[in-house]
């Protein structure tokens, strides 16, 4: 019932705005190696729907890169075309930040960046920004480890740490972002850069400060564990 109501609302919405969208949304010359969708494609309505249905922002495209080089390609195209670009991890932002929080963004969906690896020697993990909190809990728990973070299993790691990452262990262990020791990032001009307190320290400081940052197209994060149980 809810689904059919949602669908019909979306159809009405699109039919109201078809003229401007047909001009704005189209295939991007030069994009290759990954899937993306845009207005007029059959999968676009579902790909561009906000979690909070009060927000009906219409992105220019939703892309599903599989490598950081693909992300770089998309960010560079956005930079050259002067288009807002945003990363979407779980897509659960109540204000539709994962769609850019306004119309006409390039949305980089990070669902192909969901790997979680744990290295017992260094006691660190590398977690893709598209991983969900529930999957992270399970993967780390198999190794007897844990992190501070929120309680909704389906929330995506990238968006969660970009805003701090508050949860029931926070008074003991801090925010999720406090555990991050390194980030593979794509800069606004498409350059791929690693950042930690030793490498590109100023970039790391800006990504790790728990505030939304202008180009959150960042990638697998390394984590240290602040508590051992
Ligand atoms: C987004 O674009 C649609 C279609 O053009 C329009 O109806 C809507 O008002 C726009 N939203 C904002 C916040 O500009
Ligand atoms: C593109 O999407 C199709 C259909 O979901 C899938 O089979 C294919 O593996 C995807 N390709 C890439 C490069 O992600
Ligand atoms: C992209 O920006 C970085 C940081 O400002 C800079 O070091 C790099 O040279 C730039 N790359 C290009 C291709 O402009």
Residue nearest to atom 14 of ligand 1 (CA): 103
**pLDDT: which is higher, 149 or 163:** 149
Confidence of residue 5 (pLDDT cuts 50, 70, 90): very low
This prediction has a pTM of: 0.82
| Ligand 1 centroid distance, CA of 102 (Å) | 8
Residue nearest to atom 13 of ligand 2 (CA): 34
- For 84-99, the pLDDT digits (tens) are 999 999 999 999 999 9
Q: Is the CB of 191 inside a 6 Å radius of any atom of ligand 2?
A: no
User: Does residue 100 come out as left (phi exceeding 0), alpha (psi in the -120 to 50 range) or beta?
Assistant: left
* Alpha-carbon span 132 to 127, nearest angstrom: 10
* Alpha-carbon span 184 to 172, nearest angstrom: 27
Residue 203: per-residue pLDDT: 87
Q: Where are the domains of the chain?
A: 2-109, 116-226
- For 107-122, the pLDDT digits (tens) are 999 999 999 999 989 8
Please choose from 17, 49, 102, 104 the residue to mutate so as to test ligand 1's pocket, defined by most ligand atoms within 8 A of CB: 17
Residue nearest to atom 4 of ligand 3 (CA): 187
116-226: what CATH class? alpha beta
Does the pLDDT of residue 195 top 80, yes or no?
yes
DSSP designation for 17: T
- Mean per-residue pLDDT over the chain, rounded: 80
Q: Do domains 2-109 and 116-226 have the same CATH topology?
A: no
Domain 2-109 has CATH 3.30.43.10: yes
| Ligand 1 centroid distance, CA of 67 (Å) | 31
* pLDDT above 70: percentage of residues in the chain: 79
Residue nearest to atom 14 of ligand 3 (CA): 189
* Alpha-carbon span 164 to 135, nearest angstrom: 19
Residue 177: per-residue pLDDT: 87
Residue 26: per-residue pLDDT: 65
Residue found under tokens 């790790």 = 208
């Amino acid at each position: 019932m809810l689904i059919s109501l949602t669908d019909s609302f979306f159809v009405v919405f699109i039919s109201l705005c078809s003229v401007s969208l047909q001009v704005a949304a189209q295939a991007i010359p030069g994009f290759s190696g990954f899937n993306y969708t845009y207005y007029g494609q059959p999968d676009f309505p579902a790909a561009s729907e906000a979690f909070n249905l009060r927000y009906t922002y219409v992105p220019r495209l939703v892309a599903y890169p599989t490598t950081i080089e693909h992300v770089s390609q998309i960010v560079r195209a956005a930079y050259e075309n002067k288009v807002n670009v945003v990363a979407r991890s779980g897509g659960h932002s109540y204000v539709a930040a994962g769609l850019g929080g306004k119309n006409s963004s390039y949305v980089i969906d990070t669902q192909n960046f969901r790997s979680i690896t744990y290295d017992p020697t260094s006691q660190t993990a590398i977690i893709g920004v598209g991983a969900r909190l529930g999957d992270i809990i399970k993967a780390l728990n198999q190794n007897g480890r844990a992190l501070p973070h929120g309680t909704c299993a389906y929330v995506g790691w990238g968006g969660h740490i970009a805003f701090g990452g508050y949860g029931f262990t926070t008074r003991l262990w801090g925010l999720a972002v406090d555990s991050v020791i390194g980030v593979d990032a794509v800069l606004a001009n498409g350059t791929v850069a690693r950042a930690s307190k030793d490498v590109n320290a100023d970039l790391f400081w800006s990504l790790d400060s728990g505030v939304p940052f202008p180009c959150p197209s960042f990638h697998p994060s390394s984590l240290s564990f602040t508590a051992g149980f």
